[in-house]
Amino acid sequence: MSIAIPKIPDSAPFSESQRNWLNGYIAALQGSTSGFPVPADTQKERVVVMYASQSGNSEALAEEFGSRLAESGFQAPVICAEDYQSIDLTKEKNLLMISSTWGEGDPPDNAVDFWGYLTTDEAPKLESLRFSVLGLGDSNYIDFCGMGKALDKRFEELGGSRLAPRGDCDTDYEETAAAWFDAALSVLGTSSPQNETKAIQAPVGFSKKNPFPAKLKANLKLNEASSNRDTRHFEICLAGSGLTYEVGDVLAVCPENDPALVEEILHLLKLEANEEQRSSLINDCDICAVSAKLFESWKSYCSGGINLSEEEVNTYISEKQLVDLATDFPATFESVDVFISLLRKLGPRLYSISSSPKAHPDEVHLTVARVEYEAFGRTRKGVCSTYLADRLNESDSLKVYLQHVKHFKLPTDTTVPVLMVGPGTGVAPFRAFLEERAATGSEGPNWLFFGNPHEKTDWLYKDQFRQMERDGVLTHYHRAWSRDGEEKVYVQDHIRQNGAELWEWIGNQRAHFYVCGDAKRMAKDVDSALQELIANFGGMNDEQAAEYIAKMKKDKRYQRDVY
């Protein structure tokens, strides 16, 4: 008697390769219990692909590599680090770990619990595990790929053996990531030439490899003229691009360097550049940041030498820019091309989208603080913010692409209350959230906490949010003006003052809690205030409140977009 083996229907929302793998896996399970032979391609090893991601790059890479492993016949579950309890690492044989770094070598939000689990005294022994770690980072920071390095070291300390050497990716990560994956594949073994990869496959359409030439529609200053801040509202046209986004996603802008800064650096280095070289320095090269690699390379071209201690070098890198390096330590290059060869690629800048596509079809809006300040006797300007604010006119083109973010989304249940904390430009995604909630007729109440220095000059989107109050979209709207009184008042102070009602929303109505903005101070202070109110009004001790917050994060009820 034959037994029918169930199959995934063609209409199911999977690619052909995913459907083939699932059918093989189901057949393998059926074979293990009913005597059927296991298909040959399902006999390959299981390889867990785990990611820890803040902005979405690690997640995208994990999904890409997991898909390729599945096409080769491997069992390749892709899981987020926050779901680490869904597997037993002591019983796994192979792990590919992809992690970004946050803060000063810290784990991303969705990997905090996993890192805590690995670093406790009760951490599991992993003698049976082969692992390889890919770290994503930014070499402008001293703790470059710090989390990737820490995970690599910890897996080894727990008894694991390296499947392939660790990969350390800079902001332009595609080639390094592809090489790391190739190294892992060569050890795992793959017989299909189609799986050999020399670069990350770019998605069809406009993407990082092929940005869209969008038109700038509007550049509006949101602060009053007397404010010492300059926050801009940009409207960008996506018509004809085929690009779509959801609220919570980010827009990547490919900036151009200030031509005046290019000329200043060339003058300091006594270099004459042709048109092609100038274009490269404006469009392709990072001419601001001083990375550890650039500083080390600079010594070879600096006749006077550089005598700084390691601590002094680290301080210099964190505070100074390339124009300072060229001034403080004059260097001689035989050509502009040699100088260019030392520079990193100019990376895109990611901005939280501040519009709903339902409210603004074929447009994307950004809320950007224009950066300009004085330091070390010189005016400093933000690369992308001044490119957008000062050097683009309406109808000019700028190169952009979308990056989808899964960890910062509105609840699918439109009746759920939403709490939003977004001081300064952190209000950007919450303007989008509120526009979306209005456009979809969401029944759930909305509460926004906003803060800035002065009420008269720094109330961003005042008229729009006040109208949302009148329309009943914005149910509660608390504003913290930190410089208007004798005492500084911040968003976390308003959270503490409204603890009882906030707990009613969070504890009884199952509200979703969102935070966007500064990671170093604001986000930490808000997190502390949240834990305090949960403990005080939820009748919990500190440990129970911390567990409650961890459960909120796991249930996607506490989401952060901090930077």
Tell me the pTM. 0.85
Does position 16 have pLDDT exceeding 50, yes or no?
no
| 38: pLDDT strictly greater than 80 | no
Eight-state DSSP code of residue 505 = I
**The pLDDT of residue 490 is above 90:** yes
Q: What is the C-alpha separation between 460 and 464, in angstroms, rounded?
A: 9
Does pLDDT of 1 surpass 90?
Answer: no
DSSP string for residues in 383-434: HHHHHHHHS--TT-EEEEEEE--SSS---SSTTS-EEEE--GGGGHHHHHHH
Does residue 20 surpass a pLDDT of 50?
no
Helix axes 112-119, 146-157, angle to 10 degrees: 30
pLDDT, position 17: 41
Q: What is the pLDDT of residues 368-413, one digit of tens each?
A: 999 999 999 999 999 999 999 999 999 999 999 999 988 899 999 9
pLDDT band at 8 (very low <50, low <70, confident <90, very high): low
Average pLDDT of 427-447? 98
Q: Which residue has the higher pLDDT, 23 or 124?
A: 124
Task: Give pLDDT, residue 171.
Answer: 85
Higher pLDDT, 193 or 159: 159
pLDDT at residue 483 in the model: 97
Q: Which two tokens stand for residue 67?
A: 């898909």
- The candidate with the shortest Cα–Cα distance to 167, out of 136, 199, 134, 132, is 134
When mean pLDDT is compared across 14-28, 130-144, 218-232, 283-297, the lowest value belongs to: 14-28
Instruction: Say what the pLDDT of residue 33 is.
Output: 36
Give the per-residue pLDDT at 537.
98
pLDDT tens across 196-210, in order?
Answer: 444 455 455 899 889
Span 212-221, average pLDDT: 98
Does the pLDDT at position 133 exceed 90? yes
**Span 318-371, pLDDT tens digits:** 999 999 999 999 999 999 999 999 999 999 999 999 999 999 999 999 999 999
Residue 210 structure tokens: 């092929």
**What sign results for the dihedral spanned by CA atoms 313, 315, 317, 321?**
negative
Q: What is the pLDDT of residue 195?
A: 42
At 65-105, the pLDDT tens digits run 999 999 988 999 999 998 999 999 999 999 999 999 887 77
- Classified as helix, coil or strand, 98 is strand
Write out the two tokens for 69: 């492993």
DSSP 16-36: HHHHHHHHHHHHHHHHHHHSP
428 close to 366: Cβ distance less than 8 angstroms: yes
**E strands of 171-315, at which residues?**
212-221, 231-237, 250-254
Q: Does residue 269 have a pLDDT over 50?
A: yes
DSSP code at position 355: S
Amino acid at 89: L
Mean pLDDT of 461-479: 98
Averaged pLDDT, 180-192? 83
When pLDDT is cut at 50, 70 and 90, the band that residue 416 belongs to is: very high
Tokens of 89: 């690492």
How far apart, in whole angstroms, are the C-alpha atoms of residue 497 and residue 536? 12
Is pLDDT above 60 for 165?
yes
Kindly indicate the confidence band of residue 31, based on its pLDDT and cuts at 50, 70 and 90: very low
pLDDT at 198: 44
Q: Residue 142 — very low, low, confident or very high, per pLDDT cuts 50/70/90?
A: confident
pLDDT at 539 over 50: yes
